[in-house]
Amino acid sequence: MRLRPTGLGAKGALFFAAVVLLFFATAYSNLFFLLTTFLGTLGALGATGAWRNLRGVSVELVSVEAAATGDPHALRIRVTGPRGKIVYGVLVDAVIDGHVRCIAEVALARVGETIDAAQKGMPRGVHSIEALTVRSRHPFGVCMATATTTVRAEVIAHPRPAATPIANAHGHAGDGTKPPGGDEESIASLREWRQGDAVRHIHWKATARRGSPIVKEFERHGGEGVDLVIDRRCELASLETALSEATRCVLEAAATRQALRLRSQDASLELDADRPEVAPLLRWLASAMPLPKNAPPPPVASQRSITLTSVAHGGVDA
Strand, helix or coil for residue 316: strand
What's the CATH number for 1-157? 2.60.40
- Residue 124's H or E segment, with its range, is none
* Banded pLDDT at 310 (limits 50, 70, 90): very low
Please report, rounded to a whole number, the percentage of residues in the chain having pLDDT higher than 70: 84
What is the predicted pLDDT for the residue at 286? 95
pLDDT at 179 over 80: no
pLDDT given for residue 218 in this prediction: 63
Q: Are 66 and 112 in contact (CB under 8 A)?
A: no
C-alpha to C-alpha distance for 140 and 11, rounded to whole angstroms: 13
Strand order in the sheet with 58-64: 58-64, 73-80, 114-119
The full set of domain ranges for the chain reads 1-157, 159-183+222-318, 184-221
Residue range 250-298, pLDDT digits in tens: 998 888 888 888 989 888 898 887 777 899 999 999 999 999 989 888 8
Give residue-wise pLDDT tens across range 103-132: 999 999 999 999 999 999 999 999 999 999
Sign, Cα dihedral of 96, 100, 106, 112: positive
Q: What is the pLDDT of residue 274?
A: 74
Pinpoint the alpha helices (H) of the chain: 7-25, 29-54, 204-210, 236-255, 279-287
Mean residue pLDDT across the chain: 83
How does residue 313 score in pLDDT terms, banded at 50, 70 and 90? Answer: very low
Instruction: Read off the amino acid at residue 32.
Output: F
Element (H, E) at 125: strand 125-136
Mean pLDDT of 223-240: 83
Q: How many CA atoms lie within 13 A of 294 on its CB side?
A: 0
* Model confidence at 183: pLDDT above 80: no
End-to-end alpha carbon distance in the chain: 58
Q: pLDDT digits over 46-97, tens only? A: 999 999 999 999 999 999 999 999 999 999 999 999 999 999 999 999 999 9
Distance CA 273, CA 225 (A): 8
Residue by residue, what is the 3-state secondary structure of 151-170? EEEEEEEECCCCCCCCECCC
